[in-house]
Amino acid sequence: MPQRIWLVSELYYPEVTSTGYYINRLAEGLVDSFDVHVLCGQPTYSNRGIRAPRKESHNKVSIKRCAGTTLDKNVIPFRLLNIITLSLSIFVSALINFKRGDKVMVVTNPPSMPFFIALACRLKRSSYFLLIHDNYPEILIAAGMARPNALLVRFMNRLNRSLYKGAARIVVVGRDMKELVTRKRGGNASRIVTIPNWAELESVEPSSRDHNPLLDELGLKEKFVLLYAGNMGYPNDLESIVASAALLKDKEIVHFLFIGSGVKKAWLEESVKDRGLRNVTILPPRPREDQTNFLNACDVALISLVDKMLGVSMPGRTYNILAAGKPMIGVVDAMSELAMVIKEENVGWIVPPHNPERLVEAILEAESDRSRLIEMGTRARSAAEMKYSQGIAVRDYISVFTESTVDASVGPKGI
Q: Map out the domains of the chain as residue ranges.
A: 4-198+390-402, 209-387
Question: Which of 32-46, 154-168, 185-199, 304-318 shows the lowest mean pLDDT across its residues?
Answer: 32-46
Q: Is the pLDDT of residue 373 over 80?
A: yes
Are 4-198+390-402 and 209-387 in the same CATH fold? yes
Q: What are phi and psi of 201, to 5 degrees?
A: -65, -25
Using alpha carbons only, what angle is made at residue 134 by residues 13 and 142, rounded to the nearest 5 degrees?
Answer: 135
Average pLDDT over residues 88-108: 97
Judge contact between 334 and 307, C-beta under 8 A.
no
Percent of the chain with pLDDT strictly greater than 70: 96
Domain 4-198+390-402 superfamily per CATH = Glycogen Phosphorylase B; (3.40.50.2000)
Mean pLDDT of 240-244: 98
- Would you place residue 46 in the very low, low, confident or very high pLDDT band (cuts 50, 70, 90)? low
Q: Is the pLDDT of residue 228 over 50?
A: yes
CB 85 within 8 A of CB 69: yes
pLDDT band at 47 (very low <50, low <70, confident <90, very high): low
Q: 20-24 long-range CB contacts below 8 Å, 24 or more apart?
A: 20/45, 21/288, 22/197, 22/198, 22/316, 23/107
More confident residue, 408 or 152: 152
Which residues, 6 or more positions from 68, have their beta carbon under 8 angstroms from its beta carbon? 41, 42, 82, 85, 86, 89, 90
Predicted pLDDT at 44: 74
Tell me what the mean pLDDT of segment 46-61 comes to. Answer: 85
Cα dihedral: 381, 384, 387, 389 (round 10): -140
Average pLDDT on 18-35 reads: 96
Distance CA 54, CA 410 (A): 32
Task: Let me know if domain 209-387 sits in CATH 3.30.70.360.
Answer: no
41 neighbors 50 (Cβ within 8 angstroms): no
Nearest in space to 172 (alpha carbons), one of 141, 139, 130? 130
Give the pLDDT confidence of 118-128 residue by residue, as tens digits: 999 999 999 99
Asked whether the predicted pLDDT for residue 34 surpasses 90, the reply is yes
